[in-house]
Amino acid sequence: MNLKIAIVYFSGTDITKTYARVIGDALSQSGHTPTLVNITPYSAREGDFTVADYDAFIFGFPVYADFAPRVIDTWLPTLNGQEKKCATFFTYGGRTTGYAHYHTKMLLDKAGFQVEFTAEFLGRHSINIAGWDAVPDRPNEMDFAVARDFAALVVERFSQNTDAAFNLQKPFGYDTVIGVKAAEKPRTERTWMNPVRVADECSLCRLCEDECPTQAFDADTGMSDPQLCIECLHCVYICTDEVIKADKRIADHYSSFLSDFNMDDDFINQKQSRLITSGLQAAF
């Protein structure tokens, strides 16, 4: 049976995109038809997304502060999963995937998808582009091998005519964190993570503005709107003139990041990409 599988991904600095491609290649080699669907740009989530065009789905997202990007919270509920099977994977820069597995599964369950399993993959931290040095050499071949195992399990699970029995225990503190997030007021002041144009040598190609996931970046002013910006650094990553930057003082806080979470470079480099097929395997 040839499965038509949509690999739907959000990728600010191309780590999630890289894994999506590896998984897609593995599915193609096993005789199936994957379609990569990039929902990073705002416009990609504004258009029609026809669930009926595919037999099953893979959703891949980076982890920002313990969750998938907040745009996913508003986009996934717009879909009608039609009880179709799906799997998820999350990319992260070495700290933790936090509440991402559980929270995203809840969103997909409510949208009518049947979640079969999930996975987490290591990749250089998005803030590395602003001066950090978290797992700079990941993903590596070991990570890609796990991604290919993910693809093989997708074929196995998606080919079975069985109901999903995949459950995740609610992580400790989840309800409290969700309550705090719901009560947050829109940010009005700029932070070091809100990118700006720092040089005049700009060709005004407007790629930053066109591909911004939240329409936060204004190419004319060279500023990102702190109320809309999700700090994904996509505009920094894709700037062809390399004139968009986050505040350089961010780099000085890498050591604080490690110490705050009782980590060092050796510790996070020893973490492994992995599949999660039961709630007992999930750690938050």
**Which residue from 138, 134, 143, 142 is spatially nearest to 263, judged by alpha carbons?**
134
Q: What is the predicted pLDDT for the residue at 283?
A: 57
pLDDT exceeds cutoff 80 at 10? yes
Q: How far is CA 134 from CA 93, 129, 268, 274, in A?
A: 6, 10, 8, 18
pLDDT exceeds cutoff 70 at 132? yes
Joined together, the tokens standing for residue 30 give: 């096993």
- If pLDDT is split at 50, 70 and 90, which confidence band does 160 have? confident
Q: CA-CA distance, 89 to 162, in Å (whole number)?
A: 21
8-state DSSP, 181: H
pLDDT exceeds cutoff 90 at 196? yes
Question: Which residues have C-beta within 8 Å of that of residue 125, sequence separation ≥ 6?
Answer: 93, 94, 132, 134, 135
Q: Is the separation of the CB atoms in 168 and 279 below 8 Å?
A: yes
Omega within 30 of 0 (cis) for the link into 69: no
The CATH class, in words, for 4-172+268-277 is alpha beta
pLDDT exceeds cutoff 80 at 284? no
- For the chain, what is the mean pLDDT? 94
Question: Which residues have C-beta within 8 Å of that of residue 162, sequence separation ≥ 6?
Answer: none
pLDDT exceeds cutoff 70 at 282? no
pLDDT exceeds cutoff 60 at 242? yes
Domain boundaries, the chain: 4-172+268-277, 196-246
Q: What average pLDDT score do residues 235-257 get?
A: 95
**Between residues 195 and 282, the one the model is more confident about:** 195
- If pLDDT is split at 50, 70 and 90, which confidence band does 198 have? very high
Q: What average pLDDT score do residues 41-62 get?
A: 94
Q: What is the predicted pLDDT for the residue at 62?
A: 98
**Between residues 15 and 199, the one the model is more confident about:** 15
Range of lowest pLDDT (81-95, 185-199, 226-240): 185-199
Which helix (H) or strand (E) segment holds residue 9: the answer is strand 4-9
CB burial readout 31-64, b (16+ within 10 A) else e: ebebeebebbbbebbeeebeeeebbbbbbbbbbb
- If pLDDT is split at 50, 70 and 90, which confidence band does 200 have? confident
Question: Which residues have C-beta within 8 Å of that of residue 197, sequence separation ≥ 6?
Answer: 222, 223, 243, 244
pLDDT exceeds cutoff 70 at 281? no
Q: What is the predicted pLDDT for the residue at 275?
A: 97
Q: Is the separation of the CB atoms in 236 and 245 below 8 Å?
A: yes
Q: What is the predicted pLDDT for the residue at 247?
A: 93
Percent of the chain with pLDDT over 90: 90
Q: What average pLDDT score do residues 34-59 get?
A: 95
Q: What is the predicted pLDDT for the residue at 164?
A: 63
**Between residues 99 and 160, the one the model is more confident about:** 99
Q: What is the predicted pLDDT for the residue at 280?
A: 61
Range of lowest pLDDT (90-104, 115-129, 160-174): 160-174
Q: Looking at domain 196-246, which CATH architecture does it have?
A: 2-Layer Sandwich (3.30)
- If pLDDT is split at 50, 70 and 90, which confidence band does 2 have? very high
Asked whether this chain's domains 4-172+268-277 and 196-246 adopt the same fold, the reply is no
Joined together, the tokens standing for residue 86 give: 């799906």
Joined together, the tokens standing for residue 220 give: 């004319």
Joined together, the tokens standing for residue 78 give: 């717009």
